[in-house]
Amino acid sequence: MNSNVAALNTLQTLVVIGNGMVGHHCVEQLIERGALGRYQLHVFSEEPVRAYDRVHLSEYFTGRDAESLALSDAALYQTPGVTLHLGVAVLEIDRARRQVLTAQGSVAYDTLVLATGSYPFVPDIDGAEGDSRLVYRTLEDLDAIRRAASHARRGVVVGGGLLGLEAANALKSLGLEAHVVEFAPRLMPVQLDELGGLALKSQIERLGVGVHLSRATQSISAGEQYRYRMNFANEQSLETDLIVFSAGIRAQDALARQCELQIGPRGGVVIDDQCLSSDPHIYAIGECASWNGSLFGLVAPGYQMARSVAAQLCDQDAEPFIGADMSTKLKLLGVDVGSIGDAHAHTPGARSYQFIDEASASYRRLVVDATGKQVLGAVLVGDNSYYDTLLQYAQNGIALPAEPASLILPSSSGAPTLGPGALPESAMVCSCHNVSKGAICSAIDGGCSDLAQLKTQTKACTGCGGCAGLLKQVFEHELIARGVSVDKSLCEHFAFTRQELYALVRVEGLHSFEELLARHGRGHTGCDVCKPAVGSILASCWNQPIMDASLVPLQDTNDTFMANMQKNGTYSVVPRIAGGEISAEKLIVIGQVAKKYQLYTKITGGQRIDLFGAQLHQLPQIWGELIEAGFETGHAYGKSTRTVKSCVGSTWCRYGVQDSVAMALLIEDRYKGLRAPHKLKFAVSGCTRECAEAQSKDVGVIATEKGWNLYLCGNGGMRPRHAELFATDLDDATLIRYIDRFLMFYIRTADKLQRTSVWRESLEGGLDYLKQVVIDDSLGLGEELEAQMQRVVNRYECEWANALKDPDKLKRFRTFVNDERADPSIHFVEERGQRRPIMATELNLIPVTEELA
Amino acid sequence: MNLSNSPRANARPALWQSVCSQHDLVRNSGVVVWLDGAQVALFYLPQAEGKTLYAIDNHDPQSGANVIGRGLVGSLKGELVVASPLYKQHFRLEDGCCLEYPQQRLRVWPVRLHDGLVQVGVANEH
């Protein structure tokens, strides 16, 4: 009997119903707190996709897809011990037997967490159906709105609250004329006072959104100009093609009602301070829970409940849930709106200061207590830059300045801002994840010395992200206060930055990892952080073949095998197609190779062809055939020059003013094989129409009548950045000289894995400084940088051609060193006429915890 | 029938089976051998202070692919580890434990160099 097996048998079953933001946060917290040591976790989600960011739902219409809105990597729910049942609704809870029933059967639980959230409230209105009864809550709802909008001109949102205005924004971004219909006499009646509502209305109307207040919709009938007509109580009407109801939410407590848990007066599962329902085995968290008669429709209180429950289930100290601060800071339709604490001055004796700017439709209200010493609340419309300071005053009871009004007056009047040093330890920096200034300080005292690590460790700023600025300020202030110099060590083996190691390698002429480690590092081995970083530095400096015996162990797997590993362990192969120019003969060879080895082929964004599905032992055969036909490696696997994209230019195009293909070939031939801190992409456009999209590249070149304009440090990918215009009307030689200097300066000074865009943003002195270094040669480095580049260029050799000549280097390209067979567990299926990897589900495999024999 | 991660299996294997030559190993890196249906990754660290040869399962539980032998070896806080090439989680070479996800655990085998041959310890039934 194995101890692991024994442990498995003693696991309890914990079921979480609902995979919205709060349910997901609970799962994350449970895993983080070690719950998988004691529970098997089953998560049921009615929706077919895993938890996504509902706060930023409207971005679904401006380019974000379901995957990018997802709150976690798919991997989280593949953690052994966690099973996510997507698209499986729980139909019934049997409390007596402690089981949940779904269409696919029942699951017994020891403990149950309800995180079923809420559903949109739609008032009973005659004629509301189909496109006149849309709601705004899930991705499916958004798909329905998008479908309805495709043949619509005008859209109406019923409800002028927070979600209603979000929905109006969504309609606007779909290109519709948007209107908001609100029952109350002002917008956002919960958060704003009358003047605040007026200011918001005025700002929103300026954006072209119609606002109709004090309107009760009685019925919906067929329209004349538009599809529907909304008939209001006062005999007025409004015509529209679609109607989205966003008139409030109701707790989704259907399951709780079915199993007869106690339900609150306004709906919702009644919970105590421990988030426990009337059944001691069932917790409820988030919008489906009713605490002290109140429901909480914001994400931060839901997260508080999720944390509390996760801590209790792991036998850790849990903070009881005792209500929540409902302060909010939002950008609605591009207008800043903030509401803090007692915004309506309901506290007896409360007094207000108000600031109104009708010209810009800005409004601010500060509510203070009867003694005039403490902030009770605030309303902000038009400018949220006051929010952080006011919130800190309100939450931490900081004494007001002598002239409280200065806190909401325009900043030119010299209002005192609250520096991070003035905040008490208890000050809440991140309210989504409940991170106080004190928690940040103790993380720093515990050795945390970089912002990314701080975020991972404390989770601060990983919720809505609104505290990013404050977090950075507090972090830097506290570091300086401790006299800490920021630790930029590469890893535990080198107490140097990448830049410092680069200088050591060059100055001391070191050619191997072992030499560098022996002289300047610790230990004998290194790790997967420092080895590839040093491998890259050695390649940038000396450009030796990366398959040399001493360099092989340094490379990340893709560099080691000079191909790109895919999810099933096979590789993709990308031969260089410089400038995207290729002859018919070479295309045929690629086709023949793909056919012979049954490779899946796809055209890349960089104007090349990617061949997928090669096993390790096939790589030398494939490359043998490609090199025979005149191809060379495309370095698609390296942190190195990738492609130079180009348009056809003046040779063919009636608009082209220079030969962009010839320039692309010149650039690609010069810099191919250059290894850098990160991958490098180039493009050359033959005229200002910019068909090669050069302004999204690290180095972009655009033809002019007189020569070339050079753009630097652009980036596509996850965080797009336009390249900046660096120099204009250059001749060929000057263009190449500038690029030489720029690239070598980047290689010399960038951090590990830092793209040029990020490097440029962190470069002190910015673009002007870069111009001084490259154009004016202010550091006197110009010739040295050029000479270094020339050495790398002179040393270029196709790595695959080099490896194929050396039987020793080919030794590694064996799936098994003692057997000729291929990996028998790699399977393909055919799709659209090509092979692709088989998916786990198609193998009828259910991922299970590895059982030990 | 236990030849997995228990320390006892490491201590006294029932049988040493030769799997490849020492020349098949790659210094400071990994190769994979086929062992009666199992895929065993061999990592050779000639400069290491203690053991210089490790045998660990080639199957990455996170991706489901057989890729561990192609991972990068390193040391973290004094322990030798291999990083999975796909999702970069680290496994201790000594006992196959995953540092990031304790639930993931790789099988390890006793292994030795003998007369220029690499030998893996297997249990009786093989």
Q: Max Cα separation, chain B?
A: 38
Choosing among A33, A528, A825, A842, which should be mutated to test the B contact, i.e. which has the most B CBs within 10 A? Answer: A528
Distance of CA B65 to the CA centre of its chain: 16
- For residue A318, being part of any structural domain is answered with no
Per DSSP, the three-state class of A833 is coil
pLDDT value, residue B7? 43
Residue A372 burial (CB < 10 Å; 0-12/13-18/19+)?
exposed
- For residue B25, being part of any structural domain is answered with yes
Q: Are A97 and A226 in a shared domain?
A: no
User: How many CB atoms are closer than 10 A to CB A63?
Assistant: 8
Among residues A122, A54, A118, A38, which one has the least CA distance to residue A284? A118
pLDDT tens by residue, A56-84: 787 788 777 777 788 887 788 888 899 99
Per DSSP, the three-state class of A771 is helix
CB-based contact, A447 to chain B, within 8 Å: no
| Domain stop point among A418, A451, A470 | A418
CB nearest B1 (choices: A568, A840, A853): A853
- Is residue A669 within 8 A of residue A578, CB to CB? The reply is yes
- For residue A492, being part of any structural domain is answered with yes
Q: Going by C-beta distance under 8 Å and a sequence separation of 6 or more, which residues neighbour residue B48?
A: A524, A525, B80
* Distance from C-alpha of A285 to C-alpha of A299, rounded to nearest angstrom: 11
- For residue A319, being part of any structural domain is answered with no
Element (H or E) spanning A474, and its range? helix A468-481
Distance between A529 CA and the closest CA of chain B, angstroms: 9
- Regarding beta strands B15-21 and A82-86, do their DSSP bridges make them parallel or antiparallel, or are they unpaired? unpaired
pLDDT value, residue B2? 41
* Distance from C-alpha of A464 to C-alpha of A391, rounded to nearest angstrom: 16
- For residue B45, being part of any structural domain is answered with yes
- For residue A320, being part of any structural domain is answered with no
Q: Going by C-beta distance under 8 Å and a sequence separation of 6 or more, which residues neighbour residue B72?
A: A527, A528, A531, A532, A553, A555, A556, A557, B82, B83, B85
Place of tokens 């950075």: A472
CATH number of the domain residue A31 falls in? 3.50.50.60
Residue A173 burial (CB < 10 Å; 0-12/13-18/19+)?
middle
Q: Are A111 and A258 in a shared domain?
A: yes
| Domain stop point among A515, A542, A569 | A542
Per DSSP, the three-state class of A291 is strand
Among chain A residues, CA nearest to B63: A567
- Is residue A81 within 8 A of residue A43, CB to CB? The reply is no
Distance between A18 CA and the closest CA of chain B, angstroms: 24
- Is residue A789 within 8 A of residue A620, CB to CB? The reply is no
pLDDT value, residue A839? 83
CB-based contact, A492 to chain B, within 8 Å: yes
Cβ B26–A552 below 8 Å, yes or no? yes
CB-based contact, A525 to chain B, within 8 Å: yes
Q: Are A521 and A555 in a shared domain?
A: no
CB nearest A79 (choices: B49, B81, B103): B103
CB-based contact, A430 to chain B, within 8 Å: no
- For residue B55, being part of any structural domain is answered with yes
CB-based contact, A565 to chain B, within 8 Å: yes
Q: Which residues of B touch A530 (CB under 8 A)?
A: 74
The terminus-to-terminus CA distance of chain A in angstroms comes to: 10
Q: Going by C-beta distance under 8 Å and a sequence separation of 6 or more, which residues neighbour residue A68?
A: none
* Distance from C-alpha of A641 to C-alpha of A699, rounded to nearest angstrom: 11
Distance between B2 CA and the closest CA of chain A, angstroms: 6
Residue A145: phi and psi, rounded to 5, are -65, -40
* Distance from C-alpha of A44 to C-alpha of A716, rounded to nearest angstrom: 36
Cβ A524–B65 below 8 Å, yes or no? no
- DSSP per residue over A298-327, as a string? SHHHHHHHHHHHHHHHTTS-----------
Cβ B103–A821 below 8 Å, yes or no? no
Among chain B residues, CA nearest to A552: B29
Q: Where are the beta strands (DSSP E) in A515-590?
A: 564-565, 571-573
- Is residue A797 within 8 A of residue A761, CB to CB? The reply is no
Q: Are A558 and A514 in a shared domain?
A: no
Choosing among A525, A548, A845, A851, which should be mutated to test the B contact, i.e. which has the most B CBs within 10 A? Answer: A525
Q: Which residues of B touch A80 (CB under 8 A)?
A: 61, 101, 103-104
pLDDT tens by residue, A147-188: 999 889 999 999 998 888 888 988 988 889 999 999 889 998
- Is residue A360 within 8 A of residue A312, CB to CB? The reply is no
pLDDT value, residue A413? 41
> Which tokens hold the place of B36?
């009666």
* Distance from C-alpha of A367 to C-alpha of A720, rounded to nearest angstrom: 42
Q: Which residues of A touch B19 (CB under 8 A)?
A: 818
Among residues B100, B120, B89, B124, which one has the least CA distance to residue B17? B120
CB-based contact, B2 to chain A, within 8 Å: yes
* Distance from C-alpha of A821 to C-alpha of A815, rounded to nearest angstrom: 8
CB-based contact, B17 to chain A, within 8 Å: no
- For residue B2, being part of any structural domain is answered with no
* Distance from C-alpha of A282 to C-alpha of A646, rounded to nearest angstrom: 62
Q: Which residues of A touch B20 (CB under 8 A)?
A: 817-818
Q: Which residues pair with A210 in a beta bridge?
A: A179
Q: Which residues of A touch B73 (CB under 8 A)?
A: 525, 553
In chain B, the number of structural domains is: 1
Q: Are A401 and A443 in a shared domain?
A: no
- Regarding beta strands A600-603 and A609-614, do their DSSP bridges make them parallel or antiparallel, or are they unpaired? antiparallel
ipTM for the assembly? 0.89
Q: Going by C-beta distance under 8 Å and a sequence separation of 6 or more, which residues neighbour residue A645?
A: A579, A580, A606, A607, A664, A681, A682, A683, A684, A692, A693, A694, A697
- For residue A307, being part of any structural domain is answered with yes
- DSSP per residue over A356-415, as a string? EETTTTEEEEEEE-TTS-SEEEEEEES-GGGHHHHHHHHHHTPPPPSSGGGGTS-GGG-P
Q: Are A457 and A505 in a shared domain?
A: no
Write down the number of H helices and E strands in chain A.
25, 38
| Domain stop point among A418, A450, A474 | A418
Among residues B40, B95, B48, B46, which one has the least CA distance to residue B68? B40
Q: Which residues of A touch B75 (CB under 8 A)?
A: 493, 523-527
Cβ A525–B103 below 8 Å, yes or no? no
- For residue A691, being part of any structural domain is answered with yes
> Which tokens hold the place of A69?
């809105």
Q: Are A37 and A94 in a shared domain?
A: yes
CB-based contact, A823 to chain B, within 8 Å: yes
CB-based contact, A522 to chain B, within 8 Å: no
Cβ B62–A526 below 8 Å, yes or no? no
Q: What is the number of alpha carbons within 13 Å of residue A454 lying toward its C-beta?
A: 31
Range 44-73 of B in CB contact (< 8 A) with A: 45, 47-49, 61-67, 70-73
Per DSSP, the three-state class of A732 is helix
- Regarding beta strands A242-245 and A699-703, do their DSSP bridges make them parallel or antiparallel, or are they unpaired? unpaired
Q: Which residues of B touch A526 (CB under 8 A)?
A: 74-75
Cβ B2–A852 below 8 Å, yes or no? yes
In chain A, the number of structural domains is: 7
Helix axes A162-173, A139-149, angle to 10 degrees: 50
Q: Are A769 and A851 in a shared domain?
A: no
Q: Which residues pair with A588 in a beta bridge?
A: none
CB nearest A552 (choices: B6, B29, B104): B29
Cβ B73–A525 below 8 Å, yes or no? yes
Residue-averaged pLDDT of chain B = 85
> Which tokens hold the place of A853?
């024999």
Domain that holds residue B61: 7-122
Q: Which residues pair with A134 in a beta bridge?
A: A244
Domain that holds residue A425: 420-482
- For residue B1, being part of any structural domain is answered with no
Range 98-117 of B in CB contact (< 8 A) with A: 101, 103-105, 107
CB nearest A525 (choices: B26, B48, B86): B48
CATH number of the domain residue B71 falls in? 2.102.10.10
Q: Across the A/B interface, how many CB contacts are shorter than 8 Å?
A: 134
Per DSSP, the three-state class of B94 is coil
Place of tokens 């893709």: A558
Cβ A568–B28 below 8 Å, yes or no? no
- DSSP per residue over A651-704, as a string? GT-SS--S-HHHHHHHHHHHHTT-B-SS-EEEEEESSTT-TT-GGGSSEEEEE-
Low-confidence ranges of chain A (pLDDT < 50): 1-8, 412-416, 845-853
Among residues A727, A588, A740, which one has the least CA distance to residue A676? A740
Q: Are A592 and A659 in a shared domain?
A: no
Q: Where are the beta strands (DSSP E) in A213-350?
A: 217-222, 228-232, 237-240, 242-245, 249-251, 269-271, 282-284, 289-291, 328-332, 335-341
Q: Going by C-beta distance under 8 Å and a sequence separation of 6 or more, which residues neighbour residue A724?
A: A711, A712, A713, A714, A760, A767
Per DSSP, the three-state class of A328 is strand
Q: Which residues pair with B1 in a beta bridge?
A: none
Cβ B29–A560 below 8 Å, yes or no? yes
Q: Are A228 and A268 in a shared domain?
A: no
Cβ A553–B76 below 8 Å, yes or no? no
- Is residue A109 within 8 A of residue A242, CB to CB? The reply is no
Q: Are A136 and A269 in a shared domain?
A: no
Among chain A residues, CA nearest to B85: A557
User: CA angle, corner A144, sides to A211 and A224, nearest 5?
Assistant: 55
- DSSP per residue over A837-852, as a string? EPPGGGGT----PPPP
> Which tokens hold the place of A533?
């970083």
Among chain B residues, CA nearest to A554: B72
User: How many CB atoms are closer than 10 A to CB A447?
Assistant: 10
